[in-house]
Amino acid sequence: MEETKVTTKVMFENWVAQFSDELFSWAYYKTSSKETAEDLVQDTFVSAYHNIDSFKGKSQPKTWLFTILNNKIIDYYRKKSKQFVISSDDYSQQIKTTNNFFDEHDKWKKEIDTNEQHWLDNPEFNSILLACIKDLPENWQFIIQSKYILDKKSADICQELEISKSNYWQISHRAKLLLKKCIELNWVSK
């Protein structure tokens, strides 16, 4: 019995040494927060340690740990989406602000220069875009990254965040408007 505990402890210590960096990189990519990523990786290892008996070796340890981490990330965004509530005053102010983005025909007042065919390949533009995404509330970031970077379906995103489709579309629309304004201020005006 004691030998099994020692073997399990050594195996687990090897996993921590071997997979910590990859797990952290993934958590950081998904959350854009060093502290949050560190907490999620720590929670992943704590959960894995407490449930080590459920690991039957049917998958690679890395796969098992990433599954736990992805569930922790989903839980993190679920909690965040439930914490984020827009007051009616904030909503009214946001609508007033975003109304300024459109002309009388509901078209953008200022367009990104479409003559530049490869602006998504431009490192400076990508840096500005990432900074603009990081300025969004966390669950808005998750929606934008899931939809446009990871190509997830809206129904899957709604399920992960436990939000309605109308709430999803509302958040998505507002996030795109704020990204548009941020890009206009930081890229187009250069």
Of 63, 83, 103, the residue that ends a domain is 83
53 shares its domain with 103: no
Q: What is the pLDDT of residue 20?
A: 92
Tokens of 109: 């007042």
Tell me: do 184 and 93 sit in the same domain.
Answer: yes
Mean pLDDT of 93-121: 52
CA nearest neighbour of 48 among 81, 29, 71, 25:
71
How much is the CA Rg of the chain, to the nearest whole Å? 21
**Burial category of 141 from C-beta neighbours within 10 Å (exposed 0-12, middle 13-18, buried 19 and up):** buried
- For residue 22, the 8-state DSSP code is H
Is there a single domain that holds both residue 73 and residue 109? no
| Number of domains into which the chain is organized | 2
Across the range 168-172, mean pLDDT stands at 88
Q: Which domain holds residue 139?
A: 88-188
Q: Which residue has the higher pLDDT, 72 or 107?
A: 72
The more confidently predicted of residues 107 and 64 is 64
Same domain, 151 and 177: yes
Question: Can you give the CATH number for the domain in which 103 is found?
Answer: 1.10.10.10
Collapsed DSSP state (helix, strand, coil) of residue 108:
strand
Mean pLDDT of the chain: 78
Q: What is the pLDDT of residue 116?
A: 44
The answer on 92 and 79 residing in a single domain is no
Looking at 83, 114, 138, which one is the last position of a domain?
83
For residues 123 and 52, membership in a common domain is answered with no
| Among candidate residues 51, 83, 115, the one where a domain is terminated | 83
pLDDT at position 5 is 64
The C-alpha atoms of residue 141 and residue 146 are separated, in whole angstroms, by 8
Please check whether residues 68 and 117 belong to one and the same domain.
no
The CATH number linked to 36 is 1.10.1740.10
